[in-house]
Chain A
Amino acid sequence: MKNAPLDHRLPTELRDLRESVAQYSRDVIAPAIGELYINHEFPYDLVRGMADMGLFGLPFPEEFGGMGGDYFALCIALEEVARVDSSLAITLEAAVSLGAMPIYRFGTPEQKNTWLPKLTSGHMIGAFGLTEPGAGSDAGGMRTTARLDNGEWVINGAKAFITNSGTDITGLVTVAAITGTKSNGRPEISTIIVPAGTPGLAIEPAYSKVGWNSSDTHGLVFTDCRVPASNLLGERGRGYAQFLQILDEGRIAIAALATGLAQGCVDESIRYAHEREAFGHPIGHYQAVSFLIADMDVRAHTSRLAYYDAGARMLAGEPFKREAAIAKLHSSDAAMENSRWATQVFGGYGYMNEYPVARFYRDAKVLEIGEGTNEVQRMLIARELGLPQ
């Protein structure tokens, strides 16, 4: 694929995966997503198609119904989906790296056997409840509590902006909650699995978002919500460490998604610059347009380099916190810039919701916010550089 640099350096299985996902995105997602997006509908059929291709099981071993790939394979798939549509990409990203991955990493054998085969098949998706109305990047502001009572956790509190939490195929929400006070006086945070439909868990109506219209996002309210003590995920008091690890990985996935959006802007702009004529030439003939597209290509390319590097480090077991933060910061800015200029290349049409670039424009902004704001990424990078804290 011409617009996929470094492709020749990837192993054949990743190239074939990229090709397979690209074909599905182009042939199946692209023709259908526009209308779903305008109507704010969750794309059940398109999600099922991705599930049939095994995308929800990509980084998990076959014993849990997975595809036996790795996290980088997931990133390659995310890039190709996001090249066409971000709602589907974030649905996949959140289901795998926030829904299923914590259970795979921290779950007991029983929890894994109960949940993973369903989650890896993609016929069920999971959500991760971390952010609260008053606590985002500062997880120390968390208010949701869980206390043990008669062998059950009793959860009270509220979560905000939880992806995949209210679909017909949502099977569980993993919730971070304060379960006590540590000896140093800080709150003890643990994560607990709450199956969908548990009494006391209320799913609020879907948000009205600027973009990602076809992804499912809700606030959650827990009122004396009771689940068995055995639903504790991993060790009690390890919740904070757990989600730091999950978020570090997740940044590479978001970077891949942002790279896809940035590349999608390049693809659409090149096509339109050939088609559309003004003053006697295709608009791509004019440097005012061709230089815009050249700059967009630079951003998409460097974004890809950044997430490939972070992904390679992660797979090699090397530290990757700084590289993941760089990739997320750079690629989300690239997505934002590229969508801005792609819309400009399209002129008036770019402002019409039925054009993909308008969808890209709406979908780009959240990438500078989710999975740690870009200010948090700078904080992480500065810390990794050893600057005074």
Chain B
Amino acid sequence: MKIAVCVKQVPDTWAEKKLRDDDSTLDREAADGVMNELDEYAVEEALRLAEANGGEVVVVTMGPERAAETVRKALSMGADAGVHLVDDSLHGSDALATSYALAEVLAARNFDLVIFGSESTDARMSVVPAMVAERLGLPQVTFAQKVDVDGSKVAIQRQTEYGYDDVEAELPAVVSVVEKINEPRYPSFKGIMAAKKKPVETLTVADAGLDAAKLGATAAWTKVASFAARPPKAAGTVVTDEGDGGAKIATYLTEQKFV
């Protein structure tokens, strides 16, 4: 079985995130880059499926040069090979453009299963896995808290508000995973050393046969007109309870149009 895991480098969850003054995109230099947390679960799940069913795990990323660190991390966890799409014209791509680029790269490589983390900690849109599935014409079995592969089928438990749904699809398929699914491993030193010798294919937009006009900030369907720092917290309103506290709070909530 050939499994692709799509991973994204994001600013360190612990760091303060900033936007760039020049083009209103995320300032990736302002913070350390780390692998998007949910993508660690995706890599772990891919490794477990490959260990149980046999197969190869290829990690795929789109991002600036230093996103190579994130590919290396997935390789040191145990993935077999990497594909890194890196090109200045990708800068500022929205979810639609990202899904276009990833889908093209994935389509050219014939995977049985494509695994994503269900969202990134920077953009938090959760739409790229579904968009990629749509572009590839594959079933989308998303938000999985459990994944089983049996022959030509993949069965997942899709996490819902009320519990989970059982969802099945024929392979090839696109899966996205939630945090509940597993406990990602920490790279061992042996894994780290082995990662240095694993193949990583670095592609430009031209190498991948992509249309640059569909990529980058200029092709984005939305534009950031302006942005401002979050205002400091206001002092708040203190309601003193003189037997009528409940009524006062209800009045306040109504005034603020919360209820």
- Residues of A close to B72: CB separation below 8 A: 12, 16
Given A2-B32, A12-B196 in contact, is the A67-B190 Cβ separation under 8 Å?
Answer: yes
Q: Is A228 an interface residue, CB under 8 A from the partner?
A: no
Q: Is A13 an interface residue, CB under 8 A from the partner?
A: yes
Given A1-B32, A2-B32 in contact, is the A16-B76 Cβ separation under 8 Å?
Answer: yes
User: Contact partner of B186 among A1, A12, A24, A67, CB < 8 A?
Assistant: A24
Q: Is A20 an interface residue, CB under 8 A from the partner?
A: yes
Q: Is A23 an interface residue, CB under 8 A from the partner?
A: yes
Taking a contact as CB atoms under 8 Å apart, the answer to whether A17 and B186 are in contact is no
Shortest distance between the CB of B249 and any CB in chain A (Å): 27
Given A1-B32, A2-B32 in contact, is the A13-B185 Cβ separation under 8 Å?
Answer: no
Taking a contact as CB atoms under 8 Å apart, the answer to whether B76 and A20 are in contact is yes
- Residues of B close to A20: CB separation below 8 A: 76, 186-188, 192
Taking a contact as CB atoms under 8 Å apart, the answer to whether B190 and A16 are in contact is no
Return the chain B residue nearest A49 by Cβ.
B186
Q: Is B189 an interface residue, CB under 8 A from the partner?
A: yes
Taking a contact as CB atoms under 8 Å apart, the answer to whether B190 and A54 are in contact is yes
- Residues of A close to B253: CB separation below 8 A: none
Q: Is A68 an interface residue, CB under 8 A from the partner?
A: yes
Q: Is B220 an interface residue, CB under 8 A from the partner?
A: no
Q: Is B193 an interface residue, CB under 8 A from the partner?
A: yes
Q: How far is the CA of A13 from the CA of B194 in the complex (A)?
A: 10
Within 8 A of B (CB), among A1-60: 1-2, 12-13, 16-17, 19-21, 23-24, 49, 52-55, 57-58
Q: How far is the CA of A67 from the CA of B193 in the complex (A)?
A: 9
Q: Is A69 an interface residue, CB under 8 A from the partner?
A: yes
Given A1-B32, A2-B32, A68-B193 in contact, is the A16-B187 Cβ separation under 8 Å?
Answer: yes
Q: Is A354 an interface residue, CB under 8 A from the partner?
A: no
Q: How far is the CA of A298 from the CA of B32 in the complex (A)?
A: 22
Shortest distance between the CB of B219 and any CB in chain A (Å): 34
Q: How many A-B residue pairs have CB under 8 A?
A: 50
Q: How far is the CA of A17 from the CA of B187 in the complex (A)?
A: 8
- Residues of A close to B195: CB separation below 8 A: 16
Contact with A along B167-190 (1 / 0, CB 8 A): 000000000000000000111111
- Residues of B close to A381: CB separation below 8 A: none
Looking at chain A, what size class is its interface with the partner chain?
Answer: 20 to 34
Q: How far is the CA of A52 from the CA of B188 in the complex (A)?
A: 8
Q: Is B158 an interface residue, CB under 8 A from the partner?
A: no
Contact with A along B58-81 (1 / 0, CB 8 A): 000000000000001100100000
Q: How far is the CA of A42 from the CA of B190 in the complex (A)?
A: 27
Shortest distance between the CB of B116 and any CB in chain A (Å): 21
Return the chain B residue nearest A13 by Cβ.
B192
Given A12-B72, A20-B76 in contact, is the A62-B192 Cβ separation under 8 Å?
Answer: no
Contact with A along B190-208 (1 / 0, CB 8 A): 1011011000000000000
Taking a contact as CB atoms under 8 Å apart, the answer to whether B185 and A62 are in contact is no
Q: How far is the CA of A12 from the CA of B195 in the complex (A)?
A: 11
Taking a contact as CB atoms under 8 Å apart, the answer to whether A16 and B185 are in contact is no
Taking a contact as CB atoms under 8 Å apart, the answer to whether B189 and A73 are in contact is yes
Shortest distance between the CB of B121 and any CB in chain A (Å): 14
Given A1-B32, A16-B76 in contact, is the A23-B190 Cβ separation under 8 Å?
Answer: no
Given A1-B32, A2-B32, A20-B76 in contact, is the A13-B188 Cβ separation under 8 Å?
Answer: no
Taking a contact as CB atoms under 8 Å apart, the answer to whether A17 and B192 are in contact is yes
Contact with A along B26-47 (1 / 0, CB 8 A): 0000001000000000000000
Return the chain A residue nearest B187 by Cβ.
A20
Taking a contact as CB atoms under 8 Å apart, the answer to whether A62 and B189 are in contact is no
Central interface residue in A1, A17, A68, A73, by most chain B CB within 10 Å? A17
- Residues of A close to B32: CB separation below 8 A: 1-2
Within 8 A of B (CB), among A50-84: 52-55, 57-58, 62, 67-69, 73
Return the chain B residue nearest A74 by Cβ.
B189
Return the chain A residue nearest B40 by Cβ.
A23
Contact with A along B71-108 (1 / 0, CB 8 A): 01100100000000000000000000000000000000
Given A16-B72, A20-B76 in contact, is the A54-B188 Cβ separation under 8 Å?
Answer: yes
Please list the 5 inter-chain residue pairs (A to B) with the smallest Cβ-Cβ separation, ordered nearest first. A54-B188, A67-B189, A20-B187, A16-B192, A24-B186
Identify 5 new A-B residue pairs, CB closer than 8 A, beyond the known A1-B32, A16-B76, A52-B186: A13-B196, A16-B192, A20-B188, A20-B192, A67-B193
